[in-house]
Structure 1
Amino acid sequence: MSTQFRLPFTAAPTHAREDFAVSPSNADAVARVDGWPAWPEGRLALVGPAGCGKTHLARAWARAHDAVVVDALAPEAPDLATLRGRAVLVEDVDQRPSGAAGGGGGAALSDEALFHILNMAGVDGGTVLLTGRTAPVGWACAVPDLRSRLNALCVAAIAPPDDVVLEAVLRRAFEQRLLKPDPDLYPYLLARLPRSAAEAIAAADLLDEAADQRRRELNKALAREVLGDFEGDEEPG
């Protein structure tokens, strides 16, 4: 059976902490993030596959602690002087190219800038949370001292979303759209959705639009029509 929907990404998930669903797939990572400010040397890496919720959890932490958010792929170099003593969130560190020049004509946060940000952690109340899809030991860098800092990071890992997380995402998405789907729609979608919160939200967007335009009930039959047929799926609607 195919498990891939053809989904456009039409809505961004909320980053409110109260909307983050805790389950066995992420409970350990949540506990480690909530352990702030007792992170070793004021540093923590939050890692997990795309769509697992790490950006949601990281942004909720940043909001709670008034953290400066740094996009590791942004061409503009951060003003390092303004980061001293602050909480800092650096996102998508694993996607930087090795030896990134950063700033000026660069295309990503430089090795030197990242090294300085890590060194600020634990000084004058400074702390840093970094996100990536893979463990820091595999992140690209060309500076030996930075390599040693990355290898020593404490890591909080999130697994792909399980059914508990995806059902919570779907229920919240439908509630926000004032929709009341048939109860059996949830197990139907959970058996077929990719393990991604973003794609679950995209599915809710499409079903919302279709139910409104077609004046239909939100149920399995509509989901099958809107989201595409599944190979071997002969279950009646």
Structure 2
Amino acid sequence: MTGEEPKRGQMKLDLTHEGAGRHRPFVTSDCNAAAVARLATWPDALTPVLALIGPKGSGKSRLAADWAERVGAVPVHGAEASLLDPLEVEGRPILLDRAPDADDETLFHLINLARSGGGALLLVARSAPSSWEAALPDLRSRLDAVPTVAIQTPDDAVLAEMLEAEFARRSIAPPADLIPWLLKRIERSSGAVEAAVARLDAEPGAVTRAVARRVFGPLGPGDPD
């Protein structure tokens, strides 16, 4: 409020959201179609609080950021949520990434704020809220009641798009057969994609499958590649 000092332990946050448009389009496939469809029509009056869950590197934070851009949500991360001023976010959609890192009291108040009408709260985490630790009994019951939608480990279609985008970001034009070759050799996460392309980019000369084979090695003794 104008002319008032923030409460102790509370600070002003920049509640503007950086546009997601600078990123590549989010690729929809079997591994994430249910989550994409759910967020396309959410929030709704019946579900003011929703959890988006999935393994590390599955793209859940990216999908949540696209949702926040679309609906004008306030994006916060983990323990940073305790710095929110309820008066500034009341009635607004909120994206809380790394939601289990927020303290119990903050989570309790954010859920209540969303359920009081007009707002919405998207909780992003690797596991469902029902599995999070909560010392407050009232918070425990609220977390157990939060509906969830899940993203699975990236499949070939999503992983291939991640590889193409990372190569393009580094201005690398890989041969057509390299990405299918890499799909068999790297972990299925955005972090693994970035690490793999960085390793290839560090090699002298053009990025070829021969270079990739030297860097990553064969799958096993019988690998014909």
* Range class of TM-score, shorter chain: 0.7 to 0.9
Per the alignment, residue 168 of structure 1 pairs with: 161
Amino acid at match of 1:146: L
Could you list the per-position Cα deviations for residues 154-179 of structure 1 after superposition, in whole angstroms to 9, with x for gaps in the alignment? 11101101111000111122223332
Q: TM-score, normalised by structure 1?
A: 0.79
Please identify, of 20-29 and 40-49, the stretch whose mean Cα deviation from structure 2 is larger: 40-49
Shift of 1:208: 2.5
Matched, 1:80 2:86: yes
Q: Matched residues in 1 for 2:54 and 2:183: separation?
A: 20
Q: Contact 2:104/2:134 (CA < 8 Å) preserved in 1?
A: yes
Aligned with 1:41: secondary structure?
coil
Could you list the per-position Cα deviations for residues 187-220 of structure 1 after superposition, in whole angstroms to 9, with x for gaps in the alignment? 110001101022112222332332xxx223x222
In structure 2, relative to structure 1, the CA distance for the partners of 1:126 and 1:156 (3 Å cut) is: same
Matched, 1:181 2:174: yes
Per the alignment, residue 215 of structure 1 pairs with: 205
Q: Matched residues in 2 for 1:156 and 1:39: separation?
A: 17
Which of 107, 114, 136 aligns to 1:114? It is: 107
Per the alignment, residue 197 of structure 1 pairs with: 190
Per the alignment, residue 104 of structure 1 pairs with: none
Gaps of 5+ in 2: 1-18
Which of 86, 89, 98 aligns to 1:92? It is: 98
Per the alignment, residue 37 of structure 2 pairs with: 31
Q: How many aligned positions are there?
A: 206
Q: Contact 1:32/1:156 (CA < 8 Å) preserved in 2?
A: yes
Could you list the per-position Cα deviations for residues 25-44 of structure 1 after superposition, in whole angstroms to 9, with x for gaps in the alignment? 00001111112122633111
Per the alignment, residue 214 of structure 2 pairs with: 225
Per the alignment, residue 20 of structure 1 pairs with: 26
Q: TM-score, normalised by structure 2?
A: 0.82
Q: Matched residues in 2 for 1:184 and 1:195: separation?
A: 18
Q: Contact 2:73/2:92 (CA < 8 Å) preserved in 1?
A: yes
RMSD of Structure 2 on Structure 1 (CA):
2.2
Q: Matched residues in 2 for 1:179 and 1:38: separation?
A: 43
Q: Contact 2:92/2:120 (CA < 8 Å) preserved in 1?
A: yes
Amino acid at match of 1:33: L
Q: Matched residues in 1 for 2:20 and 2:134: separation?
A: 30
